[in-house]
Amino acid sequence: MPIRRPAATPDAGAPRHTPSRRATPRRYLMCAPDHFRVTYSINPWMDPSKPVDLALARTQWEDLRDRYRALGHTVELLTPRPDLPDMVFAANGATVIGGRVLGALFAYRERYAEAEAHRHWFGAHGFTEIREPEHVNEGEGDFAVTSSYLLAGRGFRSSPLSHGEAQEFFGRPVIGLDLVDPRYYHLDTALCVLDEAGDEVMYYPGAFSAGSRSVLARLFPHALVAREPDAAALGLNAVSDGLHVLLPQAATGLFDPLRERGFDPVPMDLGELLKGGGSVKCCTQELRL
């Protein structure tokens, strides 16, 4: 008789033994929200009739930058441009793995010019392998890196064709994931890599198609599976250095599950930037050298 293995379910829970965690120093690229505004709406979080407190946005963003530095990480800065109010969401401008830079091609005209600003920055900072993409991709908004895979979102922004382009450029197997809920329009609003070496992630199943949920359950049977209120607080829009997980402070339901897995949750308030549809991760592009 063939041996039947139980199907992997998202509820498989944390691994039995809590692994000991270690932070590794990271390099991040950020862009100050000097010109952040919500004057158009390209995702359901953006309501141009709601005022944005720019001074508060600036303070919240500085807290995030300073927290990274206090944790021993390097933060590089991109110069904000007055005509690009979403530029603070630096994660979308490129994807960098092993020093190779896949530029972005934005889905909406309002953000087109950000891609060029990023490519220019990389050119001026010693990066030599810079690809101007053929297909729409919004950088780390839709690409997430683990040691085994390049997870790639599609459905709202990045074109499925960008997945093949990224696989060829980085030489890493791409796992395409279909996003189905407009509130979670980028992969990084619904999934966060907690430990790339160990292929550990947290995600919100409701953001994905049934097939993609099965793929995630199969690849990551011990994933931290988030509940709706934490996802709706953009709790998955988080950044992990392998130990510290910086995440929106309202996503309180994630704190204990993270601690149980040996991570150290670091709650951040980025409430003003949430009005643009982004939080911790959206403001942070990781430069993997």
Residue 287 and residue 284: Cα distance in Å, rounded?
10
Residue 222 designated active-site:
no
Q: Which residues of 48-68 are buried (b: 16+ CB within 10 A; e: fewer)?
A: eeeebeeeebbebbeebbebb
Residue 235 and residue 204: Cα distance in Å, rounded?
9
Could you say whether residue 277 binds ligand ARG (CB under 6 A)?
yes
**Integer CA distances (angstroms), 51 to 37, 95, 108, 154, 272, in order:** 9, 31, 22, 30, 9
Among 73, 118, 244, 282, the active-site one is 282
DSSP SS3 for 15: coil
Could you say whether residue 212 binds ligand ARG (CB under 6 A)?
no
Could you say whether residue 143 binds ligand ARG (CB under 6 A)?
no
Nearer to ligand ARG, 92 or 240 (CB): 92
Task: Count CA atoms closer than 13 A to 210's CA, side-chain side.
Answer: 0
Residue 283 designated active-site:
no
Q: How far is the CB of 43 from ligand ARG (least distance, A)?
A: 4
Compute how many other C-beta atoms are within 10 angstroms of the C-beta atom of residue 124: 8
Among 118, 186, 244, 283, the active-site one is 186
Q: What is the CA radius of gyration of the chain?
A: 18
Could you say whether residue 186 binds ligand ARG (CB under 6 A)?
yes
Of 277, 285, 43, 37, the residue nearest 157 (C-alpha) = 43
Could you say whether residue 273 binds ligand ARG (CB under 6 A)?
no
Considering only the stretches 125-133, 186-194, 198-206, 238-246, report the one whose residues sit in contact with ligand ARG under the rule CB under 6 A: 186-194
Give the contact letters, 229-268, x = binds to ligand ARG (CB under 6 A), - = no.
Answer: ----------------------------------------
Considering only the stretches 59-67, 73-81, 173-181, 273-281, report the one whose residues sit in contact with ligand ARG under the rule CB under 6 A: 273-281
Site for ligand ARG in 54-93 (CB under 6 A): 86, 89, 91-92
What is the binding site for ligand ARG (CB under 6 A)?
42-43, 46, 86, 89, 91-92, 111, 141, 186, 188-189, 276-278, 282
For the annotated catalytic residues, the residue numbers are 186, 282
